Amino acid sequence: MARILAIANQKGGVGKTTTAVNLAASLAVAERRVLLIDADPQGNATSGVGIDKSVAGMSLYDVLLDGVPIAEAVRQDEQLPFLHIVPATQDLVGAELELVGGEEREGRLRKALEPVRGEYDYILIDCPPSLGLVTLNVLAAADGVLIPIQCEYYALEGISQLLNTIRLVQQNFNPGFQIEGVLLTMFDSRLNLSKQVVAEAKDYFGAKVFRTVIPRNVRLAEAPSFEKPILLYDVQSVGAKSYLSVAQELIKRVESSGRGKSGGAK
Ligand code: ATP
Ligand code: MG
């Protein structure tokens, strides 16, 4: 049974998509069956793994608004056999409005994922930088959320809003929902500020914070323009190694507690 994880923070540009793409690829090379779902109309996770958005085919929009079975929207990654993707296109912008009047408007993704949950070990969902109905669908469908926090000024600004939304989701749609982990991103060891953010996040979230911190790394910033996860672009880079290490931490957390794939951590 897949562990379903939302990657969310309504703050823009904190590393959600970078984390979704590279954690998905890192889990896939560890031979975990991964479904990466792009829930952001910007479609950066879609292009980040090399899927051409202009090529016709089903996307998350068709699943949420037209009831298309999610299996029909799934694409196979060309280079990583354990990685599947559900792409997002620009029309997902309209989904926010179109969902408002719909029935079961927060529960659609949850329902859509039921038939494929058994086919994956991890389902990772990249959220847009908002707390609208699409994000709510994702949070209602997930077992937990992984929150990337950028090591910069006002890093924790807006976190209380996210925590309120998480509580709302727990109370109304998804009682078992939890914070799976907090990942510090774009760490710069030369800056005291970066260290300060790490300390603050640890104070606030305790053991939820991943031990691996993602450094600011130019290779991570370059990889999207080559439409590749970092480990297919430069596996020796510190960025690639960091995400491989986060994947190992996640595998340990999920699989040793019996919540995910059986057989324990590798
Ligand atoms: P949005 O809120 O717009 O969806 P996001 O939270 O998904 O943004 P990303 O797109 O992952 O954030 O990252 C924002 C920018 O920072 C991108 O250009 C990305 O390539 C770059 N970036 C992300 N992580 C790193 C890193 N560790 N080192 C250097 N650049 C990074
Ligand atoms: Mg993004």
For every residue of 219-257, DSSP letters joined together read: HHHHGGGGT--HHHH-TTSHHHHHHHHHHHHHHHHHHHT
Residue 43, classified by CB atoms within 10 Å of its CB into exposed (0-12), middle (13-18) or buried (19+), is: buried
Least trusted range by pLDDT, from 30-34, 55-59, 72-76, 136-140: 55-59
Q: How far apart are CA 254 and CA 180, in angstroms?
A: 9
Tally Cβ neighbours within 10 Å of residue 84.
Answer: 23
- Residue 260 is classified by DSSP as S
Distance CA 181, CA 199 (A): 15
The type of residue at 24 is A
Tell me the one-letter amino acid at 49: V
The pLDDT score that the predictor gives to residue 113 is 98
pLDDT score for 101:
85
Rounded Cα–Cα distance for residues 65 and 69 (Å): 11
Between CA 193 and CA 206 the distance in angstroms is 19
The mean pLDDT value for 154-165 works out to 90
Alpha carbon nearest to ligand 1 atom 28, residue: 216
Res 263 pLDDT > 80: no
Query: What share of the chain in percent tops pLDDT 90?
Result: 88
Question: How far does the centroid of ligand 2 lie from the alpha carbon of residue 13, in Å?
Answer: 7
pLDDT higher than 90, residue 157: no
Chain position carrying tokens 């606030």: 204
pLDDT at 266 over 60: no
Q: Per-residue pLDDT averaged across 13-34, rounded? A: 98
Q: Is pLDDT above 70 for 264?
A: no
Mean pLDDT of the chain: 94
CA distance 112 to 136: 14
Q: Residue 127 CA: which ligand 1 atom is closest?
A: 4
CA–centroid distance, residue 26 to ligand 2 (Å): 18
The predicted pLDDT at position 261 comes to 61
Question: CA triplet 134, 211, 80: central angle to 5 degrees?
Answer: 60
| Ligand 1 atom nearest 14 alpha carbon | 6
Residues in the chain: 266
What pLDDT, on a 0 to 100 scale, did the predictor assign at position 29?
98
pLDDT higher than 80, residue 9: yes
DSSP 97: H
CA 87 to ligand 2 centroid distance, Å = 13
Residue 243 CA to ligand 2 center (angstroms) comes to 16
Query: What's residue 118's pLDDT?
Result: 98
Secondary structure element (H or E) that encloses residue 76, with its range: strand 75-76
Residue closest via CA to ligand 1's atom 26 equals 216
Ligand 2 midpoint to CA 189 (Å): 24
Pocket lined around ligand 1, Cβ cut-off 6 Å: 12-18, 40, 42, 44, 129, 185-186, 214, 216-217, 220-221, 224, 239
The protein residue with its alpha carbon nearest to ligand 1, atom 13, reads 15
Q: What pLDDT, on a 0 to 100 scale, did the predictor assign at position 155?
A: 87
Element (H, E) at 29: helix 16-29
CA-148 nearest atom, ligand 1: 6
Q: What is the mean pLDDT of residues 155-183?
A: 94
Which pLDDT belongs to residue 265? 39
pTM: 0.96
pLDDT at 262: 52
What's the pLDDT at 108?
A: 95
Does the structure show a pLDDT above 80 at 16?
A: yes
| Ligand nearest to the CA of residue 183, numbered in listed order | 1
> What is the mean predicted confidence (pLDDT) over 190-218?
96
Ligand 1 nearest atom to the CA of residue 215, by list position: 27
CA atoms within a 13 Å half-sphere pointing along the CA-CB vector of 260: 26
Cα of 18 vs centre of ligand 1, distance in Å, is 6
**Atom number of ligand 1 nearest to Cα 126:** 7
Residue 256: both structure tokens together: 């040793």
Q: Which is nearest to 230 in space by CA: 35, 15, 9, 11?
A: 15
What confidence tier does 138 reach under pLDDT thresholds 50, 70, 90?
Answer: very high
Q: Which residues pair with 148 in a beta bridge?
A: 183
